[in-house]
Amino acid sequence: MTRTVRIILSSPLSITGVLLIGFVVLSAVFADLVTPFPEHSGTVVDFAKLNQPPQWPNIMGTDLVGRDLFSRIIFAYRISLVLGVVVLVLAVPTGVTIGLVAGYLGGWPRFVLMRTTDVFLSIPPLVLAMSIMGVLEPTLMNGMIAVTVMWWPWYSRLVYNIVLAEREEGYVLAAEIIGASRLHIMFREILPNCFPAIITKMTLDLGFVILIASSLSFLGLGVQPPTPDLGSMVAEGAKYLPDSWWLTVFPGLAILIAVFGFNLLGDALRDILGNEQ
C-alpha cells in the first residue's frame, strides 16, 4: 500500500490523474449534493435565463432552455461512468474468457474464437457501434450493448497474447502434471497472471468508452434528451458556435478531463502493477 502511494506521489502525472478521476467520480456520485441545480438534469425550462454566458450562479452558463450547464455536466458524468462501467463489466469477462480459452487450448477453438475476434476487429469500431445503434432504438441500454459488442475483441486479443507466453511457464506444466483440470489451469493458474494487464487496460478504456459513447450521442445515436449526455450537449451547442461558445466548450472540456484523467491513472496503474515482482 505504501508502495502504491509512493509511486503515485513520485510522478506529477499520476497525481494529476488521481485528482482528475477523484473529482469526476466523486462529483458524479454526489451529483445531487454538489450541483447548484440538481433538478436541471431533467426537463426544466427557465425563460428568464435562456442561453446565458457564464456568470454567478451559473458558472458555466445556461443552455437553450435556461438549464444550468455545470449541473448538467456533472449529471452527464454520472451517466457516462455508469455506461463505462457496465460496458466493461460485460465486455471484459467475455473477451478475457475467449482469449484464455483460445490461447490455452489452441487447435480449432483457437481458430474459431480468434478468427471471430478478427472479424469484429476488422470493422471500424464507431461504424460497428453506429450500425447497431441504427438498427436498435437509441437508448442508454442499447448504447451499452453496442459499445460492448465492439469492445470485447480487444480483451480477447490482449489475453490471448499473454496466455501464449504464460502457458510455456513451468508452473503451467507443473499444474498439468499434478493433474489439474484444464478449467483450473486456465482460470486459477494463468488468469491471475493476466490481471495486471487487464486492470491497466480497463482503466485506460474507461476513458475511451466515455469518448466513444459521446461520439455516438454526438451523432444522435446515443442517449436521448432530456437525459444529460456530454456528446449530445456538444452536438447541440455546435450549432450555436461561436456566439454561444460555452455550450460546446464546457461539455467538451468535461470529456477531455475524464478521458485524460483515466489515461493518466491507467499509466500510473501500469507502473504500480507492472513492477510488482
Partner 1 sequence: MTRMALEISDLRLSFEGITETTEVLHGISLSVAPEERVALVGESGSGKSVTARAVLGLLQSQKRVRMSGRIEFEGQDLAAMTSRQRQALRGSRLSMIFQDPVSSLNPVYRIQTQFHEVLKRDDPSISLEDAKRRIRPMLSEVSIAEPDRVLESFPFQLSGGMNQRVMIAMALINEPSLLIADEPGTALDVTVQDQTLRLMRRLVERRRAAVLFISHNLGIVREFSDRIYVIHTGRIVEEGPTDAVFANPGHPYTRALLAAVPRITGGDIPEIDENPSAYEAPRVVHAPAAGVA
- If phi > 0 it is left, if psi is from -120 to 50 it is alpha, else beta; for residue 102 that is alpha
Binding of partner 1 at residue 159 (CB under 8 A)? no
Chain residues 103-122 in contact with partner 1, contact rule CB under 8 A: 107
Is the Cβ of residue 6 or residue 184 nearer to partner 1 in the bound state? 184
Question: In angstroms, rounded to a whole number, what is the distance separating the alpha carbons of residues 101 and 111?
Answer: 11
Binding of partner 1 at residue 1 (CB under 8 A)? no
Q: How many residues bind partner 1 (CB under 8 A)?
A: 18
Is the Cβ of residue 194 or residue 210 nearer to partner 1 in the bound state? 194
C-alpha dihedral (204, 38, 23, 241), degrees to nearest 10: 70
User: What are the grid coordinates assigned to 73, written together?
Assistant: 455536466
Is the Cβ of residue 172 or residue 209 nearer to partner 1 in the bound state? 172
Shortest Cβ 50–partner 1 spacing (Å): 58
Shortest Cβ 240–partner 1 spacing (Å): 54
Q: Which residues of 100-116 are buried (b: 16+ CB within 10 A; e: fewer)?
A: bbbbbeeeeebeebbee
Chain residues 189-248 in contact with partner 1, contact rule CB under 8 A: 189, 192-193, 195
Binding of partner 1 at residue 273 (CB under 8 A)? no
- Which range binds partner 1 by CB under 8 A, 31-39, 145-153, 174-182, 208-216? 174-182
H-type helices in the chain, by residue range?
2-10, 12-29, 31-34, 69-105, 107-122, 125-135, 140-166, 170-177, 182-184, 191-218, 230-238, 246-274
Contact residues: partner 1, CB under 8 A: 107, 169-171, 173-181, 189, 192-193, 195, 277
